[in-house]
Amino acid sequence: SLLTFHGVDTVIVTGGSTSGCVRATVVEGLSCGYRMVVPEECVADRHESPHFANLYDMAVKYADVLPVGDVVQGLSGMEAR
């Protein structure tokens, strides 16, 4: 409700682990109607295989998985509210 109150429509998710908390946050955010963005260099997992498998799955189904440079560039034109 706090995000809705402030007019937020997009959530950028970073952290670890890609196969756990990051994925769960992305799925939950999408189910609440937010555009979800995952900067690929800003997430991690203990093992490479589940990390890349979950990045792929999120990109196909739930989120925009983008290079961090693209995310920063997209934010550079935004004004603070």
Surface-to-core class of residue 63, CB atoms within 10 Å of its CB (0-12 exposed, 13-18 middle, 19+ buried): buried
> Active-site residue among 8, 21, 24, 32?
21
Strands (E), 1-81: 10-12, 15-16, 35-39, 43-44, 64-66
Residue 21 known to be catalytic: yes
Q: Which residues are catalytic?
A: 21
